Structure 1
Amino acid sequence: MDPREEAGGSQRDAAADAGDPGVSPGRRRGLRWSEAAWLAILMAIGIVQIVRAQWFDAAVFLVVVLALGADAAGLMPRFRSRVRPGLRRLIAGAAMFGAAMCVAPRHRGWMAAVVIAAGVTALALAWPQPDGPPVTPWSRGLQRLAIAWSVILVAGCLWELLQFILGRVEPRLQWFALSDLVDPLVSSIPGRVLFIAAWVAAGVFLVRRGRRP
């Protein structure tokens, strides 16, 4: 799609959110190809989880697909949030979630609950606000960064899918998912703390980036 069309769509969306009389807020629009591609990837991951009989993981991915698809189509309401914490409060909140993850037992309900709570909080803070700043097109540098991360994430998904397929074809052999490769690092206390610290730091960065144009 022409970048000028992307920019025009973003500006029209921002005008609708700001109450421009010439644009109807909350109108429906078609999915951009990039949005449809990511929704298809998330849907494929959810289907793979169903095949693996990982029902909780499948439900998480499919719910995310529904929510993002509805938001991209203009069907989700824009919640007016009064909570806009600064950097210090974001860091303090992230540190609390990180500390809870460090003490929670792995692969248990408490760990899942903390991760879900952190994700819901980040989503609420980063969700577009009707009284927020107008949306501007991404810079070329940000576009290149998004493409680079997209390539990394898709490569990781393909690796996971390949290991799953090979495990079904040759179950007698040992195949390594990404979690198996990272497990030696997070099995030790220093490695676990380092991994969680990097994870929450990335979350703080993404929340701050998602709340500004």
Structure 2
Amino acid sequence: MSETARRTAQILLDTGCILLRPERPFVFSSGWASPVWLDIPRALSFPLARAALLDGAEARILQEVGFAGFDAVAATEQGGIAIAAMLAERFHLPFATVRRRAQGFGADAHVEGALRPGARALLVSDVTTDGRSKARYVRALRAAGAEVTHVFVLFKYAVFDRLVTEVEDIGAKLFALATWDDVLPEAAARAALPDGALAELRAWIADPFAWSAAHGGLAAPDPAWRS
């Protein structure tokens, strides 16, 4: 675990962003049930946490993409807007928002803001579970004339990767500050989460589809999930 990943895990735990509710599971838009939900925008309410996350994000992005690898920052709607706007300010680059559903007409109907044709846009969001929505945002940016080869999120669930690879399938690389592999050891070392709930979280991570099926969610991805 890198120091940045450890610090990110600490922030999520300290600011109460990890909501564990195995007795009343959360259901993702995919239909999969989960014992956990991440409220990452909550962390941005704390100035020290916000600064640390931005520092980590800036360093991770430059490490992964390079200083000359992008010339615009695009945010996914809702959770991605705040962090992407602050990063665009740090990088002194244009900023735009990508909507899940078209808000206008033409090729850029999904994009709010000005992106020049051929702009190399870094797509930024707060969290990703299975990556499907991020792939849709990438397609929308490309339809508007931008180039997109990297997607950055503060947190990646990294439990559906063996089946869900759509972002990679369309030629973009998704990377993050931290995953559950970073949070679990930190939570255990600090006794930051209730033992029973933590055990349920571990069980879900080990086999998310079996856990989902046992708690009222889908047992496996819908065969039409790529459509």
TM-score, structure 2 normalization: 0.22
More helix by share: 1
Q: Which has the larger radius of gyration?
A: 1
* Larger relative contact order (CA 8 Å, sep ≥ 6): 1
TM-score, structure 1 normalization: 0.23
